[in-house]
Structure 1
């Protein structure tokens, strides 16, 4: 198999090509990614990064210019934009921890404004508390590249490739991805994964690592189906 010039800190498109490259879980016989395919993915990922940087600067300025007496709708709109940029940064090439830290600080400031708007309203306070909990979970899951790639509005992971992708993932990624799905969705994913490995078993290739990942998916599926419904 020819060595391709994959980058050290790839973006979402290149990451999926790396997962697919020569991987029998995606196709048998294994298919190699073409050099021009990789180059196009790297170029598109780089363009996404340049656009993010431009929008990031504009968003920071928007936050700086936010009037002290801004209404709830204006504040909520800014918060949603900050959260969207945080999520987008996780799918980009290179390292964007500093930008995410800045976005998180701004989100915290915006939330303080929303808490002031809530006043002593117990319903509004509970909604804000629930939102902060959900955001913390969401940002934790986004630390795993596969989660960021799956949640991107224009995800390059085809639903038909999800089983093969998950069977090629790290343990931490599998744990995180399993939190995204409910019991029924995990059961369907487990069935597809089992079917794929059964097909490959006849080819006489080493499936030991994939079988370990399958066991983890099965465990998380069983635990999800045993858990009481969330309200």
Structure 2
């Protein structure tokens, strides 16, 4: 190979590296120059699209006046939340951009709080919203979580189980928090079936079996099963 993997790969390149020559994935690609260039191109295009859309969102947000309808604020907050998710999945260094999104969200939350006046219940609900957002943003620090939540994720639904079984345990533990009891049960069932199939084909599945056992333990600890 002539082309080298990126120091900060984006979602497409990360998923290519995850899949390459990995028997857990059906039709796993090989890691070659063509595949790597294609993945890096897709990540670059995603970054360019993000930068353009973020500039537009930034202009809309900073153009707000003092008297703004609450629905406009709520819509912008939702767009900023989704923009933060997208930024977390991109390979470039976007720490400053994510900090800017946090600040904008802080300004908007302050505006909503002012609008709530002395309504203690409203302030309590806003406290819960901010706590949930911080917990969600913390999860997005894990590239696997960011890849799974990316609206344009390269991880197809039928690749979810192989992806989880390929993750390191730290990221896996964070990713499992995204799923409810029913989803965890389905993941465990599909994982067991996949590993049984591969073992029957002579594939060494000792490492993914450890991951599956870890997932089983997580589900039991979380009260899912």
Quote the residue 1:87 is aligned against. 85
Quote the residue 1:9 is aligned against. 8
Distance (whole Å) between structure 2 residues aligned to residue 46 and residue 113 of structure 1: 35
- 1:158-169 map, 5 Å: 158-169=156-167
Match of 1:172 among 158, 170, 173: 170
Structure-2 change in CA distance of 1:129 and 1:70 (3 Å): same
Q: Gaps (5+ residues) in structure 2?
A: none
> Is 2:206 aligned against 1:220?
no
TM-score normalised per structure 1: 0.88
Q: Gaps (5+ residues) in structure 1?
A: none
Cα offset, 1:18, TM superposition: 1.0
> Is 2:160 aligned against 1:141?
no
Answer yes or no: is the 8 Å Cα contact 2:86–2:151 preserved in 1: no
Distance (whole Å) between structure 1 residues aligned to residue 128 and residue 2 of structure 2: 47
Please give the root-mean-square deviation of Cα atoms over the aligned residues, in Å.
2.1
Greater mean alpha carbon deviation, residues 109-118 or residues 51-60 = 51-60
Cα offset, 1:65, TM superposition: 2.0
- 1:120-135 map, 5 Å: 120-135=118-133
How many residue pairs end up in the alignment?
Answer: 225
Answer yes or no: is the 8 Å Cα contact 2:3–2:33 preserved in 1: yes
Distance (whole Å) between structure 2 residues aligned to residue 124 and residue 52 of structure 1: 33
- 1:52-201 map, 5 Å: 52-201=50-199
Distance (whole Å) between structure 2 residues aligned to residue 165 and residue 20 of structure 1: 8
Greater mean alpha carbon deviation, residues 206-215 or residues 82-91 = 206-215
Answer yes or no: is the 8 Å Cα contact 1:182–1:224 preserved in 2: no
Cα offset, 1:144, TM superposition: 1.0
Greater mean alpha carbon deviation, residues 70-79 or residues 210-219 = 70-79
Greater mean alpha carbon deviation, residues 17-26 or residues 148-157 = 148-157
